[in-house]
């Protein structure tokens, strides 16, 4: 039995790499083994928490303010969970629907606070979408009322980025305006690959529930331009599209990425990282992903800005024409191109070509795209995995399965393959002690994204076949993300009582502004992810589900990326209704100081 305690959470590893440690943050911790969604639970939905077995058989909910007992129940039988190496009991309070803020108590142990209500994910949804705004390049940002982030002008040199190679379209040293867009992750690279899939995730979220998005929803900070004719979310995606258009070359191919030649130090902010920026590589997989996102955009924006939608379709046609003429999968490599940025080296582009064809067919109804899918039937009908930047087969299958003018017989085949995978995900969730979709081999780099992606796939499956277990399975991944896991850790920055304090994020470290709503990678049990993670795993006996460290220099467990956050944005937008938020609603109630500033 453990008593209430104060935990002083210190960064213990990687200090030699990132500088000296600043003042520690005092956090009142919950008692060990009380695993709850630290944001909360929706009324009318499943509401369960997991507790490590202490031989107690009863639980209660208490009002967080008055400590009055409002609900009592029996814990389930104890059951071992292999991946966390915990023995768990389940507290089920699904039938308690009184809005409020509560704690779970078992014996003398109590959990972090959590809410019960009709719209508990409204603020996390806004924060998650808003994180893209605060990741903008080439624009002044003064978020004085919420995060305090202030950037004069991130990487103005992107207006004249230098081409790194010579080919038939460009000479080395050519200067190209690729200003704008979102920084990809904890560094300042911008990639067609992740930019395209993140934009697609956000657009698909809007398409699933357009009524969940409004103007004024994201409280754009001073200095940020936006299209006042559009819902804020679509205006934000448009900012990324404007950048991606600059990455498109005259033949319909795309540059792969833009970054500096060296990784910037953690003391470098977007406006003090003054090194030259270069355009590296060209890649047919990332080009196809851009084309797929354009096709989605063409139909999403059509009813809101017909002229803009038409321009997106025109660019999508240009990409398709390029891919039709370029049969081989291309990933160009030049010496030195990975010295200051990640590779995203997808050398097999068939899944991305299928995704683009399916989205083009869904948008246009043109049978030539369906013919392409049929010509590649064997590939399209393979069992999918969860979609990611180097395998978008599942997105191709969903797009075709929901397309309105598809061949009924072929569509039924594709739909079955997709739903079979959704049922497999639902089965994993049912058998996991925490209701998490991850199998052992999926606790890798970006494992939280892996879980959330599978949840998103269940929501897509729900659009094909509205089974309650699909929605509840997706909701279970939100619970996992927000703290109902063996670490009692929310993996979404700023959300819940115990989020990451030291995310691998140069904006935070260089400016001191902690950006909420970013999804970090989470547990990674594969050694070699980064030096701190590897040392942690080698020197300790760490259960698979607990292989995470809240350390700045652990980029394989504690870095965010825009495609990670896109999976959270999709799920949260599904369950969150729009609200009129104020800066006060969004401002965090505690500080998260950087350790290198």
Greater confidence (322 vs 223) lies with: 322
What pLDDT score does 16 carry?
26
When pLDDT is averaged across residues 211-229 and rounded to a whole number, the result is: 95
Q: How confident is the model at residue 21 (pLDDT cuts 50, 70, 90)?
A: very low
Cα gap 323→251, rounded to integer Å? 10
Q: Which of 102, 117, 132 is the last residue of a domain?
A: 117
Mean pLDDT estimate for the chain: 94
Burial class of residue 425 (count of CB atoms within 10 Å of its CB; 0-12, 13-18, 19+): buried
What pLDDT score does 299 carry?
98
Cα gap 111→497, rounded to integer Å? 10
Per-residue CA distances from 268 to 15, 280, 341 (Å): 17, 22, 15
pLDDT of 8 above 80: no
- Domain containing 215 — which CATH number? 1.50.10.10
CB–CB of 520/493 below 8 Å? yes
pLDDT of 584 above 90: yes
One domain for residues 51 and 74 = yes
One domain for residues 366 and 328 = yes
Q: Which residues does residue 359 pair with via DSSP β-bridges, in sequence order?
A: none
DSSP string, 420-464: HHHHHHHHHHHHSTT-----GGG-STTHHHHHHHHHHHHHHHHHH
Cα gap 389→404, rounded to integer Å? 26
pLDDT of 20 above 50: no
What pLDDT score does 378 carry?
98
CB–CB of 475/575 below 8 Å? yes
In a domain, 46, yes or no: yes
What pLDDT score does 12 carry?
27
Percent of the chain's residues with pLDDT above 70: 95
One domain for residues 171 and 104 = no
In a domain, 286, yes or no: yes
One domain for residues 339 and 413 = yes
pLDDT of 62 above 70: yes
One domain for residues 174 and 70 = no
- Domain containing 62 — which CATH number? 2.60.40.10
In a domain, 311, yes or no: yes
Q: Which of 481, 499, 534 is the last residue of a domain?
A: 481
**The total number of residues written for the chain in this structure:** 597
In a domain, 224, yes or no: yes
Structure tokens at 406: 């598809």
Q: How confident is the model at residue 596 (pLDDT cuts 50, 70, 90)?
A: confident
Q: How confident is the model at residue 30 (pLDDT cuts 50, 70, 90)?
A: confident
One domain for residues 167 and 262 = yes
Burial class of residue 359 (count of CB atoms within 10 Å of its CB; 0-12, 13-18, 19+): buried
In a domain, 419, yes or no: yes
Q: How confident is the model at residue 9 (pLDDT cuts 50, 70, 90)?
A: very low
What residues make up the domain containing 109?
35-117
When pLDDT is averaged across residues 75-87 and rounded to a whole number, the result is: 98
Q: Which of 481, 508, 538 is the last residue of a domain?
A: 481
What pLDDT score does 19 carry?
27
CB–CB of 452/492 below 8 Å? no
- The pTM score is 0.95
When pLDDT is averaged across residues 499-514 and rounded to a whole number, the result is: 97
Pick from 520, 479, 547, 474: nearest CA to 50: 479
What pLDDT score does 519 carry?
98
When pLDDT is averaged across residues 314-340 and rounded to a whole number, the result is: 97
In a domain, 593, yes or no: no
One domain for residues 179 and 311 = yes
In a domain, 126, yes or no: yes
Q: How confident is the model at residue 31 (pLDDT cuts 50, 70, 90)?
A: confident
One domain for residues 143 and 276 = yes
User: The sheet that has 79-81: what strands, in order across it?
Assistant: 34-35, 48-52, 86-92, 79-81
One domain for residues 153 and 94 = no
One domain for residues 315 and 187 = yes
CB–CB of 50/588 below 8 Å? no
Cα gap 414→374, rounded to integer Å? 11
In a domain, 131, yes or no: yes
Q: Reduce the DSSP state of residue 203 to 3 states and report it.
A: helix
CA quadruple 476, 478, 482, 487: dihedral sign:
positive
Structure tokens at 158: 């992107």
pLDDT of 23 above 60: no
One domain for residues 203 and 245 = yes
When pLDDT is averaged across residues 360-381 and rounded to a whole number, the result is: 98
One domain for residues 220 and 129 = yes
Q: How confident is the model at residue 4 (pLDDT cuts 50, 70, 90)?
A: very low
Q: Reduce the DSSP state of residue 88 to 3 states and report it.
A: strand
- Non-local (6+) Cβ contacts of 166 within 8 A are 172
What pLDDT score does 597 carry?
65
What pLDDT score does 29 carry?
65
Cα gap 300→319, rounded to integer Å? 19
Strands 161-163 and 34-35: unpaired
CB–CB of 464/418 below 8 Å? yes
Number of domains in the chain: 2
């Amino acid at each position: 039995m453990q008593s209430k305690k104060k935990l002083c959470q210190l960064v213990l590893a990687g200090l030699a790499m990132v500088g000296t440690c600043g003042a520690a943050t005092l956090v009142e911790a919950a008692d060990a083994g009380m695993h709850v969604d630290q944001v909360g639970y929706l009324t009318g939905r499943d509401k369960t928490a997991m507790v490590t077995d202490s031989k107690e058989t009863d639980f209660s909910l208490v009002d967080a303010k008055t400590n009055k007992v409002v609900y009592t129940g029996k814990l389930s039988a104890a059951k071992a969970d292999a991946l966390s190496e915990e023995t768990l009991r389940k507290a089920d309070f699904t039938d308690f629907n009184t809005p409020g803020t509560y704690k779970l108590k078992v014996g003398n142990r109590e959990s972090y606070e959590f809410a019960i209500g009709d719209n508990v994910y409204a603020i996390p949804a806004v924060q998650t979408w808003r994180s893209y705004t605060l990741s903008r390049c080439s624009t002044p940002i003064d978020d004085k009322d919420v995060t305090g982030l202030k950037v004069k002008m991130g990487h103005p040199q992107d207006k004249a980025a230098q081409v790194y190679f010579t080919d038939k379209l460009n000479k080395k040293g050519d200067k190209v305006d690729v200003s704008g867009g979102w920084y990809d992750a904890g560094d300042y690279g911008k990639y067609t690959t992740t930019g395209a899939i993140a934009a697609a995730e956000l657009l698909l979220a809007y398409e699933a529930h357009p009524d969940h998005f409004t103007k004024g929803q994201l409280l754009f900070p001073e200095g940020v331009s936006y299209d006042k004719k559009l819902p804020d979310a679509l205006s934000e995606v448009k900012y990324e599209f404007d950048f991606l258009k600059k990455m498109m070359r005259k033949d319909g191919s795309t540059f792969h990425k833009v970054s500096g030649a060296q990784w910037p130090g953690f003391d470098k902010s977007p406006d003090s990282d003054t090194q030259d920026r270069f355009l590296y590589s060209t890649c047919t997989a990332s080009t196809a992903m851009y084309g797929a996102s354009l096709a989605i955009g063409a139909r999403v924006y059509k009813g809101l800005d017909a002229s803009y939608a038409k321009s997106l379709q025109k660019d999508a046609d240009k990409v398709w024409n390029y891919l039709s003429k370029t049969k081989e999968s291309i990933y160009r490599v030049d010496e030195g191109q990975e010295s200051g940025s990640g590779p995203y080296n997808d050398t097999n582009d068939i899944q991305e070509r299928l995704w683009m064809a399916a989205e083009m067919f869904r948008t246009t109804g043109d049978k030539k795209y369906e013919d392409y899918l049929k010509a590649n039937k064997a590939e399209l009908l393979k069992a999918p995995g969860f979609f990611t930047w180097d395998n978008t087969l599942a997105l191709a299958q969903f797009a075709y399965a929901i397309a309105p003018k598809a061949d009924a017989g072929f569509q039924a085949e594709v739909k079955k393959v997709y739903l079979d995978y959704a049922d497999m995900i639902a089965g994993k969730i049912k058998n996991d002690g925490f209701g998490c979709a991850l199998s052992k081999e999926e606790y890798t780099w970006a494992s939280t994204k892996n879980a959330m992606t599978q949840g998103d796939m269940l929501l897509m499956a729900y659009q094909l076949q509205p089974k309650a277990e699909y929605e509840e399975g997706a909701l279970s991944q939100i619970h996992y993300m927000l703290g109902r896991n063996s670490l009692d850790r929310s993996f979404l920055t700023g959300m819940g009582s115990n989020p990451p304090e030291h995310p691998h994020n140069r904006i935070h470290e260089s400016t001191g502004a902690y950006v909420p709503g970013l999804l970090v990678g989470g547990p990674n049990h594969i050694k070699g992810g980064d030096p701190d993670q590897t040392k942690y795993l080698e020197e300790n006996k760490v259960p698979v589900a607990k292989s995470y460290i809240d350390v700045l220099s652990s980029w394989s467990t504690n870095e965010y990326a825009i495609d990670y956050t896109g999976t959270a944005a999709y799920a949260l937008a599904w369950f969150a209704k729009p609200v009129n938020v104020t800066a006060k609603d969004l401002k965090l109630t505690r500080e998260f100081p950087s350790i290198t500033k």
